[in-house]
Structures are given as structure tokens and as C-alpha cells.
Amino acid sequence: MASLTNRKKKSAVRLTRNSKIIKTIIGAIQEKKGSNIISLDLRKINEAVADYFIICEANSQPQIRAIAEHIEAEVLDYCDEKPYHHEGFHNLQWVLIDYVNVVVHVMLPENRKFYKLEAGMLTTTGSNK
């Protein structure tokens, strides 16, 4: 997550939870059976590194890889965007995909519980698909 502080947000593009990239990411997660999907709207936090965090869980390392790779492929196909940065593909405990204004976290349930990224945040979208 340290890499998030070293890049600048795209201020010209203001996203909403109905934005094409967010819908594409959530759809890609659902297609690969990701669970406990949550979208955090960070736009009202001045110091936030992105407009949205999208967080989901995968039950295994192969599923983390499948979800993360599918997100990247779908966003490239439907939104014509490549991630600014991604990390975590080596250990497959927590993959982060940074699209600058949207940061996606694909995590094993125990890592999500430990790091509590959404603790104290108001959620805008939730799904257990």
C-alpha cells in the first residue's frame, strides 16, 4: 500500500459508484465468484489516495489470481484502461490493483479481517455473491 502515496490522482475524472470502471470491476469479481464485495466511497476524505476502494475476498490463492487477472482483462477490454500499478501476484495473499481513482483489493478472508481496510468507513455497495 506504500506505493499508493507515490502517485497522483486523476483530478479531472470524478467517479461515481455507477461509473463504467467500477461496474466492470465488480462484475469481473462476481464472474470469478469473489465474495463479500464492498465499495468504499473515499471522495469526501481530503487525504484519500483514491476516489474508491473496492475490496473483495477469495477463498484460495488460485482464486485471488483468477479474480485479479480477470479484473485487469475486463477493465482493459471494456474501459480501455491498464492499471497504473499492481502488486501481490507473487505471494497471492492480497493483490492490489491501482487504477489511480479506483484501487481494488483482492484478499484472503484472514488478511481482510486482520487489516480491516473498511473499518470505520461508510460503505456504498455491498454484495455477498
Residue 12's pLDDT is 47
Residue 54 near residue 38, CB atoms below 8 Å: yes
Tens digit of pLDDT for each residue in 77-111?
999 999 999 999 999 999 999 999 999 999 999 99
The H-assigned helical ranges of 1-129 are 20-31, 61-79, 109-115
SS3 content of the chain, % helix, strand, coil (to 5): 35, 25, 40
Which triple of cell numbers denotes residue 66? 483468477
C-alpha closest to that of 29 among 64, 53, 62: 64
Tens digit of pLDDT for each residue in 26-84?
999 999 999 999 999 999 998 899 999 999 999 999 999 999 999 999 999 999 999 99
Residue 15's pLDDT is 73
Residue 73's pLDDT is 98
Tens digit of pLDDT for each residue in 8-28?
555 445 677 779 999 999 999
Q: Which CATH class is domain 16-117?
A: alpha beta
Q: Where are the domains of the chain?
A: 16-117
